[in-house]
Every structure is written in structure tokens, then in C-alpha cells.
Amino acid sequence: MDHGIVPGRSSMRDYDVAIVGLGVVGASAVYAAAWAGARVLALDAGAPGSGTSGASFAWLNSVRKEPEVYHRLNAAGMTAHRELSKELGGDAGHHEGGSLEWAESGADERELRERVHRLASRGYPAEFITRDRARELEPGLAIPDHVSEVAFYGGRS
């Protein structure tokens, strides 16, 4: 099936849309436009994903995304990324490891408990696990002695 991506050199008249930059956003736009039937010219100064997308420390999560509408937008993006990875097959670079967080003080602990409760009430994977379970997930993690529970977000415990 021709997905609208035209290799080689041609005139702009051969394309319906040109997308500059093949990081996460640009590559997603190319994919969506091609599947919609557009003839796409994709341009990047380097290899796809070698710019900002390849150098950032960004990861898919919706832990501290407020207000709720912003949280839902990020959670929907996580779902879309998961579905696209399945559709593409193989290793699409999508790994759901989750994240861990613990409180350093009583005030931090109240805030952490509120966050975990709020996220769980929104259907987001958020729970408390024991420090031993956290160490099983991340053996090299130095969890302070006073911490008995660790918040675990977005992964599979």
C-alpha cells in the first residue's frame, strides 16, 4: 500500500504537504498525513529523531499535569503512543517502566498521598508500594531509611 511518502527528488507540486523536522512531533505529523492520503515531503537536517527529540529527557507520563484537562491530554497521548507502538510492531522505542517517588517530610507526604489518590481517582495507574518492592524494581535505588512506602506511577508493578 502506498502511504503517500514519496522517495527521491521531485517538485513541490508532487506533494500535498511538506513537514520540516522529523522528531516526535514531525514524524507523527508525517504518519498521520500519509495515512490520511496526503502525499508527504518529510525534511530534516539529520537522521529522524536526532535533534531535540533524541536529546531530551522527556518521557510519557501524566503525574504532575494540572489542571485535569491537561492531565487527560497527556494520558490520551500515552494511550495513543502505546497503540501506535503495537501497530508498528517490533521495538518502536516505547517502554513503560513507570516512575517512583517518595516524600522527604511530613508535608511532602501529605502532598504525595493527595497526588496518588487524585491520579488513581482519575483512572491513572498510581499506587503505593513497599520500599522492598521499589528496590526490586530498581535495585540500585538508595531509598532513605525513614521511607516505608514509595509512590509508583504509570508502570506495571
Q: How far is CA 73 from CA 6, 60, 79, 143, in A?
A: 32, 11, 10, 32
146 domain-assigned: no
pLDDT digits (tens, 9 = 90+) for 137-155: 999 999 999 999 999 998 6
115 domain-assigned: no
Mean pLDDT of all residues belonging to the chain: 88
Non-local (6+) Cβ contacts of 140 within 8 A are none
36 domain-assigned: yes
For the chain, the domain total comes to 1
47 domain-assigned: yes
49 domain-assigned: yes
pTM, whole model, 2 decimals?
0.73
pLDDT at site 157: 38
Q: Which residue has the higher pLDDT, 10 or 28?
A: 28
119 domain-assigned: no
Domain that holds residue 18: 1-58
